[in-house]
Amino acid sequence: MEFILILIAAVFVNNIVLSQFLGICPFFGVSNKVSTSVGMSGAVLFVMTLATLATYLLYEFVLVPSGLDYLRTITFILVIASLVQMVEIVLKKVSPPLYQALGVFLPLITTNCAVLGVAILALGMEDGSLLKAVFFAVANSVGFALALIVFASIRERLELVDLPKGMQGVPINLLVAGLLSLAFLGFTGLV
């Protein structure tokens, strides 16, 4: 039951992109086609889960016992950066088309604040455990995927719309994201 609550809260109520504003760069950057957004979501799911697992263990069993918890930010970003490198190497070998599609955005997962953000948020959970933290990461990446894919589908149609000049590009994308966020606001109070 507790896990279902975490899932619903992370996906709908506190959606990581639309209500917590984490991972906005890939949200706008790779959302012009549904197929790339699916690939990006997969990469984020993989990296976010592994990163939270690694950082949680590191924090609980290395940093806190040795009184070095102020080094949290530095160690976490290093762990995430090396994980991303690893995913990049694996993806290059296993699935070259996907690697081609994600191109420049894969290294950018390092600076995807959603990954670091979730790793930090997972530490602050009520009576947290390793299992809960990892599940929290999975739930959040599902939320990220949902927001990204819905947004990409809308943007594909938006290309056919005739817009006033100043509104084209960034402003209209932000406006659509705002309406999407408004829709997700409707889930408030669900959990």
Partner 1 sequence: MADKLNQKENFLKGIIKDNPVFVMLLGMCPTLGVTSTAFNGLGMGIATLFVLLMSNIVVSIIKKQIPSKVRIPAFIIIIASFVTIVEMVLEAYIPFLFEQLGIFIPLIVVNCLILGRAEAFASKNNIVSSIVDALGMGIGFTIALTLLGAGREILGSGSLFDFRFVSEDANTFILFILPPGAFIALAYLTYLFNRFTAKTN
φ/ψ region of 44 (left if φ > 0, alpha if ψ in -120 to 50, else beta) reads alpha
* Binding positions for partner 1, rule: CB under 8 A: 18-25, 28, 70-74, 77-78, 81, 107-108, 110-113, 116-117, 120-121, 166-167, 170-175, 177-179, 181-182, 185
151 touches 31 (CB < 8 A): yes
Compare residues 130 and 185 and give the one whose CB is closer to partner 1.
185
Query: Closest distance between partner 1 and the C-beta of residue 29, in Å?
Result: 8
Query: Closest distance between partner 1 and the C-beta of residue 41, in Å?
Result: 18
Which tokens is 152 given?
A: 């990409």
Query: Closest distance between partner 1 and the C-beta of residue 84, in Å?
Result: 10
Instruction: Find tokens 């990409």 and name the residue.
Output: 152
The set of residues, in sequence order, having a beta carbon less than 8 Å from that of 6 and lying 6+ positions away, is 132, 135, 136, 139
Query: Closest distance between partner 1 and the C-beta of residue 1, in Å?
Result: 27
The Cβ of residue 174 has, within 10 Å, a number of other Cβ atoms equal to 12
Provide the terminal-to-terminal Cα distance of the chain, rounded to the nearest Å: 12
Compare residues 66 and 94 and give the one whose CB is closer to partner 1.
66
Compare residues 8 and 123 and give the one whose CB is closer to partner 1.
123
Distance in angstroms (rounded) separating the CA atoms of residues 60 and 49: 17
Based on its alpha-carbon atoms, the radius of gyration of the chain, rounded to whole angstroms, reads: 17
Compare residues 114 and 145 and give the one whose CB is closer to partner 1.
114
Compare residues 15 and 36 and give the one whose CB is closer to partner 1.
15
Query: Closest distance between partner 1 and the C-beta of residue 57, in Å?
Result: 19
